[in-house]
């Protein structure tokens, strides 16, 4: 096989594999196959029984894709820890916190709810590079793919550690010790996404007046008229309430944009 850096990708885009859920590239069948290929990728690099964490956002299709992915990973011999709904950076945290060999995120980030995706992480919690993703694709057509069938105790375990989302929020509080004014009146738009269940706890401990909005996911309303793709929603709440600052997250909570008291967007560009 060519070196990782020499391979080209067909399935993977700039941030994993994405498509309309249950169609095209993002079916349960493909999720299972990608899970098996990821384990083969790790095994071929000397990791005999990989340990992998998996988290997701709040899309209706999330549990469907997640279950298929977990099956693929475990059927290839990996021990898998399911984190349930958790921000993408929380999955990276869990990879290093649990000293895992890798991780996977089931999310389509800022895309509409009908989309979903899978992104793989390395042992450092960072996204795999292009060559590594291309190598995972290679295993889908390799003869070893169908022959690799662990049995008995060689089949992987699947564990549940949903409490790690709260641990991640506490870790953020402990490590991001910035000098903030606790009396700031802020609004946080969760995009009905992965930060919905922890944002209140997190920002409520930083600010005495922290208002969390768009944090009632129903499986279909992620990124719908809210979040980083719809800053007008947050700007309206901030200006009408006379607030000091607004923060908008995307669906998997790995991106943030701000608005000032006048509702003007602050995007971080210089």
Q: Are residues 75 and 156 in the same domain?
A: yes
Give the domain CATH number at 185. Answer: 3.40.120.10
Q: Looking at the structure, do residues 52 and 127 belong to the same domain, yes or no?
A: yes
Structure letter (DSSP) for residue 60: T
- Residue-wise pLDDT for 105-162, tens only, equals 999 999 999 999 999 999 999 999 999 999 999 998 887 788 889 999 999 999 999 9
Q: Which residue is catalytic, options 109, 165, 191, 196?
A: 109
Spans in the chain with pLDDT lower than 50? 1-2, 5, 270
pLDDT given for residue 4 in this prediction:
54
Q: Would you state the structure tokens that stand for residue 247, as one six-digit string?
A: 């923060």
Say if residue 160 is in the same domain as residue 33. Answer: yes
Query: Do the domain assignments include residue 172?
Result: no
| Domain shared by 161 and 197, yes or no | no
Mark whether 224 and 127 lie in a shared domain. Answer: no
Please name which of 258, 262, 249 lies closest in space to residue 109, comparing C-alpha atoms.
249
Element (H, E) at 18: strand 17-20
**In a domain? residue 89:** yes
Same domain, 85 and 203: no
Question: Strand, helix or coil at 131?
Answer: helix
Please tell me the predicted confidence (pLDDT) of residue 142: 81
DSSP 27-85: SHHHHHHHHHHHHHHHHTTT-SS-EEEEEE-S-TTHHHHHHHHHHHHHHTT-EEEEEEE
- Residues 154 and 224 grouped into a single domain: no
Instruction: Say yes or no: 217 and 194 in one domain.
Output: yes
Q: What is the pLDDT of residue 8?
A: 55
| Predicted local confidence at residue 3, as pLDDT | 54
Distance CA 88, CA 254 (A): 6
Residue 115 lies in a domain: yes
44 and 147 within one domain: yes
Do 125 and 100 sit in the same domain of this protein? yes
Q: How far apart are CA 70 and CA 144, in angstroms?
A: 20
At residue 135, the pLDDT reads 94
Q: For this structure, is 48 an active site residue?
A: no
* Structural domain that includes position 223: 178-266
Number of independent structural domains in the chain: 2
Report the pLDDT value the prediction gives residue 182, as an integer from 0 to 100. 87
Which pLDDT value is given to residue 270?
47
Same domain membership, residue 215 and residue 110: no
Domain assignment present for 171: no
Which tokens belong to 93? 């945290």
Q: Which residue bears the tokens 């800022």?
A: 110
Q: Which of 135, 166, 197 is the last residue of a domain?
A: 166
């Amino acid at each position: 096989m060519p070196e990782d850096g020499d391979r080209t990708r067909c399935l993977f885009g700039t941030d994993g594999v994405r498509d309309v859920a249950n169609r095209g590239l993002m079916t349960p069948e493909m999720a299972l196959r990608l899970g098996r290929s990821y384990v083969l990728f790790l095994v071929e690099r000397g990791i005999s029984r990989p340990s992998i964490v998996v988290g997701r956002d709040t899309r209706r299709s999330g549990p469907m894709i997640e279950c298929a992915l977990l099956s693929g990973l475990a059927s290839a011999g990996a021990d898998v820890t399911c984190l349930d709904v958790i921000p993408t950076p929380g999955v990276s945290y869990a990879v290093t916190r649990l000293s895992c060999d890798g991780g996977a995120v089931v999310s389509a980030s800022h895309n509409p709810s009908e989309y979903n995706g899978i992104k793989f992480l390395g042992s450092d919690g960072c996204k795999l590079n292009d060559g590594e993703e291309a190598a995972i694709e290679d295993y889908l057509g390799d003869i070893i793919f169908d022959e690799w069938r662990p049995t008995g105790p060689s089949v992987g375990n699947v564990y549940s550690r949903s409490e790690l989302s709260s641990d991640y929020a506490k870790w953020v509080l402990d490590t991001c010790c910035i000098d903030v004014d606790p009396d700031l009146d802020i609004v946080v738009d969760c995009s009905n996404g992965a930060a919905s269940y922890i944002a209140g706890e997190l920002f409520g401990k930083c600010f005495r007046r922290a208002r969390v909005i768009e944090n009632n996911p129903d499986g279909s309303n992620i990124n719908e008229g809210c979040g980083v793709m719809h800053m007008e929603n947050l700007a309206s709440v901030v200006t009408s309430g006379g607030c000091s600052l607004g923060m908008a997250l995307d669906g998997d909570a790995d991106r943030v944009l701000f608005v000032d008291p006048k509702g003007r967007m602050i995007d971080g560009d210089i």
